[in-house]
Structure 1
Amino acid sequence: MRTLLLALVAGLLSLATPASAGGPPPVIYDSDLDIDDAATLAYLCAEHHRGRIDLRAVTVTTSGFGYPGRVRQHAISVLRQCGLPNVPVAEGVHEAVHPAPAEARVDVEDVLSGALGDRDENPGPATGTAADLIRRTLASSSRKVTILATGPLSNLATALPEGDRLTRRIAAVHAMNGAVHVPGNLFGSALPGFDNTQELNAWMDPAATAAVLRALPGVHLTPLDTTNHVPITQDYVDRLGADLTTPSARIVHAIMTQPVMRNGIPLGIYFWWDAVAALRAFRDEGVITEERDTRITVVQDGPQSGRTVVSQRGNKIRVAYGADREKFEQEYLDGLNGR
């Protein structure tokens, strides 16, 4: 009997994943903290509490849809409401090469201030930049760190130039970025002068996108080719509203039921862009239906500035090309609720 028990224990140990054997993977989350970024941060908080990841740092940039100071405040608010007030947050203030549509920035601020109740809160003086926090987190980790990036890649490009020794401490970089074989998602005041072959994160800082694809190891790109399969629907928001067992789930539901979102969701203009990249990184479970290595370059100038192009001269990137909407919806709902 003792021999049989030992054999069973050995068998179970042999099934343990490297992450479970060494603890959850350390994670840096970098974003511009707009609507779906905040929903993604709430999800990461739930996964941290469940022990699936170790959220070490959150960095935000103003080269996307958020205002200086407000992006940091919204990140702090999400972390505090999710019970993680001690996760450090730092901001990198970069001028976008192509600014986000001003009308959308107003909407983002209105949605997040309303959902998080932090309209009158101030984050206080910064103690360091986003680049400083990224470098410090990598340097202090005894294990390689996974970076999830769901906004313009300005912070990463600043923190980790090509050839930097700290890039060796990166396990993987998962980025919601690019449009490879599908049209872009520019809109409103972003459209004049451009042909809409670009995804917004890549377009807002094309130089940073190119620098990260070139300099950082283990880049996994989740472009519009994948996220277009996973729209935000009112049926799913209602389903989420009936299953709110954690602060993370309540935050996401509050975001998705703000007036701007209630008006926009029926138009089919919102997608779970960043959350798809997060689930790909930490909880795939069949959500991604197709991925393959692809050589990608980033157009820097002209009407296609920011376009991610397949080219033999490009950097080899692991690119996702499809997603299962039903599996995403179940996995994201379970993740938010700590299941």
Structure 2
Amino acid sequence: MTKQLVLMDHDGGVDDYLATMLLMTMDSIQPLGIVVTPADCYAQPAVSATRKILDLMGREIPVAESTVRGINPFPRLYRRDSFIVDHLPILNQSEIRTPLVSESGQEFMIRVLLDAPEPVTLMVTGPLTTLAVALDTAPEIETKIAKIVWMGGALNVPGNVEKSFEAGQDGSAEWNVYWDPISAARVWKTAIEIVMCPLDLTNTVPVTSEIVYQMGKQRQYPLSDLAGQCYALVIPQDYYFWDVLATAYLAHPEFYELREWETEIMTTGASQGRTKITAGGRKVWAMDRVDKSRFYSYILQQWRR
């Protein structure tokens, strides 16, 4: 069976590491590399934790650190989780072996896409800034991208950028758009197929105590042990299967129902960072429904590998 070529771009949140782990368990996927975009994290520990996770899984996949910057920084309270994960004992049993490439994440993305024998799926679980910069630098890469599967946006539900955090916002923006709406709008101008996993869906798939306890019951498996530790860190929050839910689509699209929407990205004003449904706008696919029981069973199964 021909494997799907995938380049991952994540931004160092707890769920980004777990999405990376999930991707590495997929037999139908050939990962070409991982780019770390410094958004919901601090760059150094996020890159370090990513490399340690790949070591734990025995995967020799190159990692690249993007040097892009956003417009609206994530709160420090969110970003500090990258330090916590990097210090988990299970990830610090030996010296790091996974290579960190010398070029920037955006340069690495361009090279990987141009060198690929066929179009590549981009699995993006953070902002679209690294991709936007890569497109501006080398527009020819657009034809080398099969599609973008992206955790981002909120269509018919409120965003998760809280008004109390960000003065002047109306609460409609989702963080992966809000960090850099200009870059999201740049990607919206392409002809690349976009499959979104918006808050509309992720809001229905919470990280529950029950599922975390189930991970604990199979902690003899290192992946399940690590996943359970990571989710234990965030269980006091309202936490959802954002990036993991989006990434699982690559292996099991049959779990999901998609719906097409016409949209635009708001780049200014109180709605900056909103993914707005607009007649005649850019057509995107959005994950609309998911079979939750099959999804939960699938990730528990993969953590037992």
TM-score of the alignment, normalized to the shorter chain, above 0.5: yes
Q: How far does the alpha carbon of each residue in 1:4-36 deviate from its partner, in whole angstroms, 9 at most, with x for none?
A: xxxxxxxxxxxxxxxx2xx21111010102100
1:76 to 51, 61, 79: 51
- C-alpha displacement of 1:298: 0.5
Is residue 283–residue 331 contact of structure 1 (8 Å, CA) maintained in 2? no
Partner amino acid, structure 1, of 2:112 = T
Partner amino acid, structure 2, of 1:273 = W
- C-alpha displacement of 1:112: 4.3
Partner amino acid, structure 1, of 2:14 = I
TM-score in terms of structure 1 length: 0.83
Relative to 1, partners in 2 of residues 1:337 and 1:297: Cα closer, same or farther, differing over 3 Å?
same
Looking at secondary structure, tell me which structure has more helix per residue.
Answer: 1
Partner amino acid, structure 2, of 1:34 = G
Relative to 1, partners in 2 of residues 1:219 and 1:327: Cα closer, same or farther, differing over 3 Å?
same
- Is 1:295 matched up with 2:262? yes
Partner amino acid, structure 2, of 1:54 = Q
Q: Looking at CA atoms only, which structure, 1 or 2, has the larger radius of gyration?
A: 1
Is residue 5–residue 120 contact of structure 2 (8 Å, CA) maintained in 1? yes
Distance in 2 separating the partners of 1:82 and 1:28: 17
Q: Name the residue aligned to 1:271.
A: 240
- C-alpha displacement of 1:228: 0.8
- Is 1:315 matched up with 2:288? no
SS in 2 for 1:136: helix
Consecutive unaligned residues in structure 1, runs of 5 or more: 1-19
Distance in 2 separating the partners of 1:150 and 1:187: 20
Q: Name the residue aligned to 1:97.
A: 71
Consecutive unaligned residues in structure 2, runs of 5 or more: none
Distance in 2 separating the partners of 1:245 and 1:217: 42
Is residue 74–residue 118 contact of structure 1 (8 Å, CA) maintained in 2? no
Is residue 99–residue 204 contact of structure 1 (8 Å, CA) maintained in 2? yes
Distance in 2 separating the partners of 1:194 and 1:209: 18
- C-alpha displacement of 1:337: 2.8
- Is 1:208 matched up with 2:175? no
Q: Name the residue aligned to 1:194.
A: 169
- C-alpha displacement of 1:39: 0.6
TM-score in terms of structure 2 length: 0.91
- Is 1:67 matched up with 2:42? yes
Distance in 1 separating the partners of 2:23 and 2:114: 22
Q: Name the residue aligned to 2:150.
A: 175
Aligned residues: 304
Q: How far does the alpha carbon of each residue in 1:68-88 deviate from its partner, in whole angstroms, 9 at most, with x for none?
A: 22221111111111111x211
Distance in 1 separating the partners of 2:285 and 2:194: 6
SS in 2 for 1:238: helix
- C-alpha displacement of 1:311: 1.1
Identity between Structure 1 and Structure 2 (%)? 26
Is residue 34–residue 108 contact of structure 1 (8 Å, CA) maintained in 2? yes
The alignment yields a C-alpha RMSD, in angstroms, of 2.4
Q: Name the residue aligned to 1:128.
A: 103
Is residue 41–residue 81 contact of structure 2 (8 Å, CA) maintained in 1? no
